[in-house]
Amino acid sequence: MIGLGDTLYLAYFQYLNIVPTCAISGCELVLTSVYAKFLGIPLSYLGVVYYSYMFCLGVLLAIEPNSRALRIGSLAYGAVGFLLSFIFVFYIQLTLIGAICQYCAMSALTTTAFFATAVWHWRNTRN
């Protein structure tokens, strides 16, 4: 829910075409850069889709925690999200742009926590 709220907040401001206030400097640089969109779609919109799916996957895992397909899906989905977050924050933001966005960092931490939880769940439900 944290990631979904974070990306919905950013998507709202993206829709209005304004930059939200930020506690640290750098958000404006990141959110208005050419890297803030992928194939013309704002990353915040893609984040809403990602976190909505992640939420649904978590609900399904809560209902059926031993489902091999759901466990593999959560591992794969979490790994892809973790890798993309790592690239977005450490390579694109810090290296190419030279600034960091607090909302993007919160999203990256949320995705990392999801991936860590998926790994933990996989290890504890192996048959």
Identify the domain containing residue 44 by its residue range. 2-124
Q: Give per-residue pLDDT as tens, 4-46.
A: 888 888 888 888 888 888 888 778 888 888 888 899 898 889 9
Asked if pLDDT for residue 119 goes beyond 90, the answer is: yes
d(CA 4, CA 10): 10
84 by Cβ neighbours in 10 Å (0-12 / 13-18 / 19+) ranks as middle
Instruction: Count how many domains the chain has.
Output: 1
Q: What angle do CA 98, 11, 48 make, to 5 degrees?
A: 100
Q: Are strands 41-42 and 37-38 parallel, antiparallel or unpaired?
A: antiparallel
Q: Give per-residue pLDDT as tens, 69-116.
A: 999 999 999 999 999 999 998 899 888 988 888 888 899 999 999 999
Q: At what angle do helices 43-63 and 68-86 cross, to 10 degrees?
A: 150
Residue written as token pair 């209005």: 16
Asked if pLDDT for residue 127 goes beyond 80, the answer is: no
Return the pLDDT at 6: 85
Question: What global pTM score does this model have?
Answer: 0.83
Q: What angle do CA 18, 113, 42 make, to 5 degrees?
A: 25
User: Residue 114's domain is classified under what CATH number?
Assistant: 1.20.1440.130
Return the pLDDT at 55: 92
Return the pLDDT at 17: 81
Over residues 52-62, mean pLDDT: 91
Return the pLDDT at 33: 84
Amino acid in the structure at residue 83: L
Reported as type and span, the H/E element at residue 41 is strand 41-42
Report the DSSP beta bridge partners of residue 37.
42
Return the pLDDT at 28: 80
Are the C-beta atoms of residues 55 and 5 closer than 8 Å to each other? no
Longest dimension (CA), the chain: 50
